[in-house]
Amino acid sequence: MDKIRIRGGKPLDGTIEIGGAKNAALPLMVCGLLTDEPLTLTNIPSTLMDIRTLGELLTQHGSEVVVKGEGAGRAMTITTKNITSTTAPYDLVRKMRASILVLGPLVAREHEARVSLPGGCAIGSRPVDLHLDGLAALGAEIELTDGYVVARAPGGLKGAEVVFPKVSVGATEHLMMAAALAKGTTTLINAAREPEVVDLAVCLNAMGAEITGAGTDRIVIVGKDRLHGATHEVVPDRIEIGTYMMAVGIAGGRVFLPRARIDLLKAAVKSMREAGIAFTERDGGVEVTAPKGGLKGVDVVTEPFPGFPTDLQAQFMAMMTVCNGASMVTETIFENRFMHVPELGRMGANITVHGSSALVRGVPRLTGAPVMATDLRASVSLVLAGLAAQGETIVNRVYHLDRGYERLEAKLSACGADIERLKESMAAE
Ligand code: UD1
């Protein structure tokens, strides 16, 4: 398995290109199941493992998935003339929990589907009850057998009012797609307000759907008999943006992020500003400058959008390990999302966990160590820690990073970081 080696202590200086959002691209790709015409997604981060896995899953359902172009000019076209299989098998679904999103669109178009219960990141129990209850409200009969969810709606899905007992990004997206082809009007109450939900609504509307209210907690979807093809540009990845902003915070220096948008992550930028990081919006992007006298300790609490994102919690905590003072980091979205804590501890961080809060007491310096993480954002937090640590850090299980960050080591080393990927054969030496 590949590893990443970082020799810490080099400030960053340069430009880092930001890609399209993985978490927006996944549901957008699933929209390809809703029409027999081509759906083209530009600014697609096509080399990410999660995008490839979903591409395989869609192909397995009968879609033709074609990627053309390179870098920021890449586009993926998904054409699903016919659904050839309504089963999403365990082998593909287990790799990524977002695969559950195909269930509703398949039932909407084919009136039945069978999807394996998902796996994915090892963060908490992560159930799918909100997805299934929502589809049941739209008239699907749902059964769980042999690890599969079987959903049937012989007469098609019917619009309904769905009140989510808890805010869920995935369930909101799932029901928006299913309701777009249902008979009648669906109202989603207590819906997620994430930018990826808004991006999905823009794409569905371009495909002929009638969706209003995305970005608020009440989304109304007027169902249509059919949707048509469209071309849509994927929104920039706010988690990638935040990760590189925090890389500058911990490593020091100054980096320009073209196409970065502060409005996508206002809460995180506010906390980073309080920590002393400076932001200047210019030339369609954001320049990020680390504070001269080190970072201040700042408390954060993760919340659904527009609050501080859980997907930046581990990176923020890594940054706070070297702050002046202390920081309390509280996780309210997922249980068991502190797997980076013991690994950061191995690098000299001083962190005490009490339930869902972690008290981080800043230390003057981290020291390099071999580390490993079991989810995507925890892994990247260890890379950030390695950028600031004295000596050599080896991050194992790099495949987690490949699920969500394109060319991470290339982007950082172009800004002066001493970071390289050790390929499997080299890593074994
Ligand atoms: C999405 C993001 C993920 C991010 C998360 C929260 C994608 C592909 N992934 O995940 O990176 O960390 O939003 O911002 O977009 N829950 C239930 N029942 C359900 C569904 C969710 O109890 O049926 C719970 C979850 O366990 C969690 C909370 O609701 O505690 C929020 O999860 P949700 O917003 O659904 O996250 P995902 O859509 O899976």
pLDDT at 71: 81
From CA 395, how far away is CA 370, in angstroms rounded? 6
Number of H helices, E strands in the chain: 15, 24
The answer to whether the CB of 169 is under 6 A from ligand 1 is: yes
Residue 216, number of CB atoms within 10 A of its CB: 12
Residues 353, 335: contact at Cβ < 8 Å?
Answer: no
The answer to whether the CB of 147 is under 6 A from ligand 1 is: no
From CA 392, how far away is CA 113, in angstroms rounded? 49
C-alpha 193 to ligand 1 mean position (Å): 13
From CA 424, how far away is CA 429, in angstroms rounded? 9
The answer to whether the CB of 128 is under 6 A from ligand 1 is: yes
From CA 320, how far away is CA 345, in angstroms rounded? 13
Distances (CA, A) of 192 to 33, 197, 281, 306: 22, 7, 27, 10
C-alpha 126 to ligand 1 mean position (Å): 7
Tokens of 168: 């869920």
pLDDT at 429: 42
Which run of H or of E encompasses 45? Answer: none
Q: Which residues of the chain have pLDDT under 70?
A: 119-125, 425-429
State the helix-helix crossing angle for 169-180 and 129-137, rounded to 10 degrees. 30
- Model confidence, pTM: 0.96
Distances (CA, A) of 308 to 130, 262, 265: 22, 13, 8
| Protein residue with its CA nearest to atom 20 in ligand 1 | 128
Ligand 1 site-directed mutation target among 131, 234, 333, most atoms within 8 Å of CB = 333
N-terminal to C-terminal alpha carbon distance within the chain: 12
The answer to whether the CB of 256 is under 6 A from ligand 1 is: no
Distances (CA, A) of 156 to 7, 84, 108, 129, 152: 57, 18, 6, 21, 8
Residues 175, 188: contact at Cβ < 8 Å?
Answer: yes
CB < 8 Å & 24+ apart, contacts of 263-270:
264/195, 264/235, 264/236, 264/238, 265/238, 265/241, 265/309, 265/312, 266/306, 267/303, 267/306, 267/307, 267/308, 267/309, 268/242, 268/308, 268/309, 268/312, 268/316, 269/245
From CA 67, how far away is CA 234, in angstroms rounded? 14
Residue 161, number of CB atoms within 10 A of its CB: 11
**DSSP code of 398?**
T
| Protein residue with its CA nearest to atom 21 in ligand 1 | 168
Determine whether 121 is an active site residue.
yes
Q: Helix, strand, coil shares of the chain as percentages rounded to 5?
A: 35, 30, 35
Active-site residue, from 31, 121, 323, 415? 121
pLDDT at 426: 56
From CA 167, how far away is CA 175, in angstroms rounded? 13
292: phi then psi, degrees, rounded to nearest 5: -70, -45
235: phi then psi, degrees, rounded to nearest 5: -60, 150
Which run of H or of E encompasses 206? Answer: helix 195-206
| Protein residue with its CA nearest to atom 5 in ligand 1 | 169
pLDDT at 131: 96
- Residue 117: name the closest of 106, 132, 105, 107 by CA: 132
Burial 197-215 (b: 16+ CB within 10 A, else e): bbbbbbbbbbbbbebeebb
pLDDT at 428: 47
pLDDT at 373: 81
From CA 270, how far away is CA 276, in angstroms rounded? 10
* Phi/psi-derived region of residue 72, left when phi > 0, alpha when psi is between -120 and 50, beta in every other case: alpha
